Amino acid sequence: MASQPDNASRRAFLRNSFMMIPAVSIAGGVSLTAEADEPAPNLSEYQPAFFNDEEWSFLLAACDRLIPGEAAGKGPGALDTNVPIFIDRQMDSPYGHADRWYMEGPFVLDGSPDLGFQYPYTPRDVYQKGIAMTQAYCQQQHGQRFEQLDGDTQDTVLQALEANEVDFASFGETQKLEASEFFSSLLANTKEGYLADPIHGGNKHMASWKMVGFPGARASYRDWVDQHNVEYPLGPVSLTGERG
Amino acid sequence: MAKQQPRVDAVIVGLGWTGSIMGMELTDAGLNVLALERGEDRTNEDLAYPKPADELQYGIRHTMMQKPKQAAVTIRRDLDERALPQRKLGAFLPGNGVGGAGAHWTGVLIRPTPTDLQLKTFADQAFGKGVLQDDMQIQDFGVSWDELEPHFTFFEKVCGQSGTTGNLNGQIQEGGDPFEGPRSEPYPLPALQDTQNTEMFEKAAKQLGYHPFPNPSANVSRAWTNPYGMQLGPCNYCGFCSRYGCLNYSKASPQTCILNALKQRSNFDYRTNANVTRVELAADGKTATGVTYVDNDGEEVFQPADMVILASYALNNVRLMLNSGIGQPYDPVARTGTVGRNYSYQVGGGIHCYFDDIEFNPFATAGATGKMFNDFSPGNFDSAQYGFIGGAKMHSSQASGTPIKTPLPKDAPSWGQGYKDALQKHYGHHMKLSMTGSVMSYRSNMLDLDPTWKDPYGMPLLRMTFDWKRNEHRLSAFMRDRLREIADVLQPDYRDESFNLEGSHFKVTSYVSTHNVGGAVMGTDPSTSAINRYLQSWDVHNVFVPGGNAFPQNFQSNPTDLIGALTYWSAKKIREEYLQNPGPLMSRA
Ligand SMILES: Cc1cc2nc3c(=O)[nH]c(=O)nc-3n(C[C@H](O)[C@H](O)[C@H](O)COP(=O)(O)OP(=O)(O)OC[C@H]3O[C@@H](n4cnc5c(N)ncnc54)[C@H](O)[C@@H]3O)c2cc1C
Ligand code: SF4
């Protein structure tokens, strides 16, 4: 028969960990990655690791329309918060490489959309192909690249992508990648970069969290949970201990 | 020739909730036990603050969950559709790594009702001929409330279940669920704190004559020491709970409740990155000789064992049975075979309510935070007149308030200035009214092996055939009307809703729940169940299969309280009878 385990060392550990008040311990300098300790870069000085110059110009312009900046109204925009940097970094993450996905063939491309993503493409592929075909469409429709168009025209291009009115097949797509699939990846990643912890490269200085009133990684509200219908008074903290 | 390891008394496939429980019980009985877990090791220290507080990593990228690359499921809605692989996770998020889904579940720990366990008996009494669909295959569980009650009670103590007692030995208690089955002991701990949404929901529900009570929770409301001497600290409502590991030793999980105690036993061992591909059978096919797994170096290893416990989650358990030739695969046309039969799920739906001037502070919440009522579970209302069987738990829960997943009104722009305005206006000003509904079992909702796609080890993927049926559509429409009445009382500034109504089909792309059940169901009749009422394979007596796979159809409550109780129930029989006299615990006759 096995004896009852000895939990003494665990208890000692628990005594300490229950005392922990997260916001204080963050200020003590918890750090998850070295790079995140560096101040957030300026978008204008950032050298993308994945996107080439032309793709990068598209990404900057598209993000700016998807979540426009201060000039267009209250609150920061995608460019103010380094969203393109987030997307560039995601392309080199397991996500960008579809590391966790099932990517074995055969790829059946005529099934119901309710059965989910079936392309033989990683997110990296989707961006490269999607941007190239969108640029080809802009050239064909407007004789200019996307980033050269005025804001309203850019919006009509994005709307056409969203509504799947751009026929990628006519620009050389062979695996039935649809414009709406590209658009929805771009939009989802843009929102992620806007609202995720700054450790991932976007949400610079937690600006979007300040705008909506999300306290970030504080993760400790036992003293607050019974204060109903009262606005939470403290600003956000991030995973690396930045406070806003 | 595969590498071979020294024999053990029992090998457990998967180290989540059921594997950990079986590990504890079988080492208690003096067996040498080895658990094989396909994922990484994961200790409490790996979940230390602030690491889990990362929505992108855990809430969105599913870092703790099953990798489709390793084990995808192919899915179709009916027998004629071509099933396609679920290439990235969506509707359900099975666990991966030590702790399984138990390391990142929400922690609503609630019992089914006595009626749920005997639904077929209830249906025969309460429904006239022809009311229900004739392709329905519902069954009793084959185990009674009284038999399981002590095991619920024990598992709930292991988890430090927090809530308000509704029925203590038949006496109805104020504030709890008057419809719950009689409990032999009160909840171990008091309920979690209310939040703004639960306060509003409770008030409206009471006004309409319902009986709301706090969601039973495995996020503990107070410090708790469980029967294994493991200590949990009071939940701090961190807001990163459902899909996240707990950063505060407050969420019951295999880690916090069992594994640290189990790992100290000299007759227990476990290996990670050990992906079991099949159970090996003796030449006569009547007993298992052990399992084959692929280790971290991609090498095949044979692990001999006298007993095999499949504890790899409902879907994986069924797949392992099929890939190993344990039992007869279900054939939906001939209606023969049992392995893969009666796969089931849960149906969701709800109304999003937005209030411009109310602060919900949704980030200050525990995973299980919510209030619910059971007035619409089977037997508590007359659903026969509406032409459906089953029920729903009606609730307002608030599992987390992270911003990427925050809902916005359907007619708000999804990008541009309008999106930003909507985000600013509605974040933190929203609550949801939800129904979580039972799903019956049907001839064509089933599991088998996919004929085309394989995993990296060359084993066929599991194929799921599943769709919502008329019964679930009707149930959803009825519950929608009740939730609308609650919304009418609350009078939000804006609301929108989504339900699985007539004509709607199962979609794999957005999250429904990780309450996949059935496929290797328990019972007393070997022609309609793959395992007997002690979770023992009818065909290979030294294989036991604890998990949601045992449910002959699904009820409206979350599954894990019953999964835990059934695992203890099975372990008791193994300890008291099987080990003395290994062989079938029930005769096939
Ligand atoms: C986000 C989320 C929220 C949830 N919320 C709730 C809730 O509030 N209430 C509730 O009741 N339930 C909830 N659940 C469901 C709950 O987590 C499961 O019911 C429970 O964990 C099932 O226990 P199990 O032992 O069957 O599986 P698991 O706990 O998942 O453990 C199975 C283990 O087996 C391993 N495994 C699988 N295949 C193999 C193989 N071939 N070889 C080796 N190892 C293998 C897996 O990696 C995993 O670690 C939730 C689930 C999720 C994902
Ligand atoms: S809400 Fe509570 S139980 Fe859940 S992860 Fe946070 S501290 Fe743990």
pLDDT at A37: 52
C-alpha of residue B99 to centroid of ligand 1, in Å: 8
From B387, B390, B362, B364, select the one nearest B376 (Cα to Cα): B390
| Rounded distance between C-alpha atoms, residue B96 and residue B167, angstroms | 36
B415 CB-side CA count, 13 A = 25
Tokens of B319: 């797949």
- Structural domain contains residue B412: yes
| Span B70-128, pLDDT tens digits | 999 999 999 999 999 999 999 999 999 999 999 999 999 999 999 999 999 999 999 98
Check pocket membership of B248 for ligand 2, CB cut-off 6 A: yes
Amino acid, single-letter form, for residue B378: P
| Span A63-98, pLDDT tens digits | 999 999 977 667 999 999 999 999 999 999 999 999
- Structural domain contains residue B587: no
Amino acid, single-letter form, for residue B373: F
CB atoms within 10 A of CB A133: 22
CATH number where B427 lies: 3.50.50.60
| Rounded distance between C-alpha atoms, residue A207 and residue A214, angstroms | 10
Cβ separation of A5 and B240 shorter than 8 Å?
no
From B338, B335, B334, select the one nearest B518 (Cα to Cα): B338
ipTM, two decimals: 0.96
More confident residue, A35 or B546: B546
| Span A123-173, pLDDT tens digits | 999 999 999 999 999 999 999 999 999 999 999 999 999 999 999 999 999
**Stated pTM of the model:** 0.95
Proportion of chain B above pLDDT 90, given as a percent:
98
Q: Does residue B154 contact residue B571 with C-beta atoms inside 8 Å?
A: no
- Structural domain contains residue B588: no
The C-alpha of A195 sits at a distance from chain B's nearest C-alpha, in angstroms, of 6
B506 neighbourhood in chain A, CB within 8 Å: 114
| Secondary element (H or E) of residue B446 | strand B446-454
Tokens of B22: 């079986």
Q: B338 to each of B31, B314, B424, B518, how far by Cα in Å?
A: 31, 15, 53, 11
Write the burial class of residue B589 (CB in 10 Å: 0-12 exposed, 13-18 middle, 19+ buried). Answer: exposed
State whether residue B288 is helix, strand or coil. Answer: strand
| Rounded distance between C-alpha atoms, residue A222 and residue B516, angstroms | 33
- Structural domain contains residue B326: yes
| Rounded distance between C-alpha atoms, residue B347 and residue B487, angstroms | 20
C-alpha of residue B64 to centroid of ligand 1, in Å: 11
| CA dihedral over B507, B510, B512, B517, signed as positive or negative | positive
CB atoms within 10 A of CB B574: 25
- Structural domain contains residue B408: yes
Q: Which of B40, B43, B49, B424 to mutate to test the interface with A (most CBs of A within 10 A)?
A: B49
**Alpha carbon nearest to ligand 1 atom 38, residue:** B312
| Rounded distance between C-alpha atoms, residue A138 and residue A150, angstroms | 12
pLDDT at B427: 98
Write the burial class of residue B295 (CB in 10 Å: 0-12 exposed, 13-18 middle, 19+ buried). Answer: middle
Tokens of B369: 């935070």
pLDDT at B189: 98
Amino acid, single-letter form, for residue B105: W
| Rounded distance between C-alpha atoms, residue B478 and residue B392, angstroms | 10
B244 CB-side CA count, 13 A = 34
A225 neighbourhood in chain B, CB within 8 Å: 193, 195, 237, 364-365
- Structural domain contains residue B586: no
Extended strands (E) in B313-445: 341-344, 347-354, 370-373, 392-397, 430-437
Q: How many domains does chain B contain in total?
A: 1
CB atoms within 10 A of CB B244: 29
Cβ separation of A100 and B194 shorter than 8 Å?
no
pLDDT along chain B (589 residues), means of 10: 92 98 98 98 89 97 96 97 97 97 98 98 93 94 98 98 98 98 98 98 98 98 98 97 96 97 98 98 97 97 98 98 98 98 98 98 98 97 96 97 97 96 97 98 98 97 98 98 98 98 96 97 98 98 98 98 98 98 93
What is the domain partition of chain A in residue ranges? 7-212
Q: What are phi and psi of B172, to 5 degrees?
A: -75, 135
Domain that holds residue B427: 3-578
**Alpha carbon nearest to ligand 1 atom 26, residue:** B313
The dihedral over CA atoms of B242, B77, A183, A69, expressed in degrees to the nearest 10, equals -30
Is B515 annotated in the active site? yes
Chain A, window 82-121: residues with a beta carbon less than 8 angstroms from a chain B beta carbon: 94-95, 98-104, 106, 108, 111-118
Tokens of B339: 């392995």
- Structural domain contains residue B534: yes
Tokens of A9: 């060392």
Check pocket membership of B395 for ligand 1, CB cut-off 6 A: no
